[in-house]
Amino acid sequence: MTTDDRTRAAELDQARTTMNEAGASRLARRPWEHTGQPPSDTDLVRFAAWICRDAQGTDPSVVSAGLRLLSSARVELDQIEAGLLFAARGSGMTWPHIAEALGLGSAQAAQQRLNRVLARAGDRGAEA
């Protein structure tokens, strides 16, 4: 792990700590989470947006922590999307059906979407 990676990891840990201290540690556990599992970065970003809805009492450190976690929350969502797309194919859905569910105009657009999601998630060699 490079120094930049360590610095980034420490910044993310600090952002998570800030969010947990602001109340995210008391978020209800989702049915798919294990007991004691910390909130996902996606949940932390959503929590930040919720508690910052009143600009008058917003703590800038909470806003900053939420912003810092956006990138890792996007990675989480890309992984979820890829999983759902693979599940759709595995359940027998055709690319035209998937395209319709995604609100896309064609099967090709749905396949391209999967390829873009996989590329963003770091699986650049994968093909749909």
Q: Report pTM.
A: 0.80
- Domain count for the chain, please give it: 1
Is 6 inside any structural domain?
Answer: yes
Assess if residue 100 is contained within a domain: no
pLDDT at 123: 55
- Burial of 2: CB neighbours in 10 Å, binned 0-12, 13-18, 19+: exposed
Assess if residue 112 is contained within a domain.
no
The pLDDT assigned to 1 comes to 63
Extract long-range pairs of 122-125: CB within 8 Å, 24+ residues apart.
123/82
Averages of pLDDT over each 10 residues, the chain, 128 residues = 86 96 91 90 95 83 96 93 96 97 97 93 55
Q: Is residue 103 part of a domain?
A: no
In a domain, 104, yes or no: no
| 52 in any annotated domain | yes
* Residue 108, in any domain of the structure: no
Q: Which amino acid is at 6?
A: R
Q: 69 with 41: CB under 8 angstroms?
A: yes
Task: Provide the residue range defining the domain that includes 12.
Answer: 1-28+38-73
Query: Which pLDDT score is estimated for 127?
Result: 47
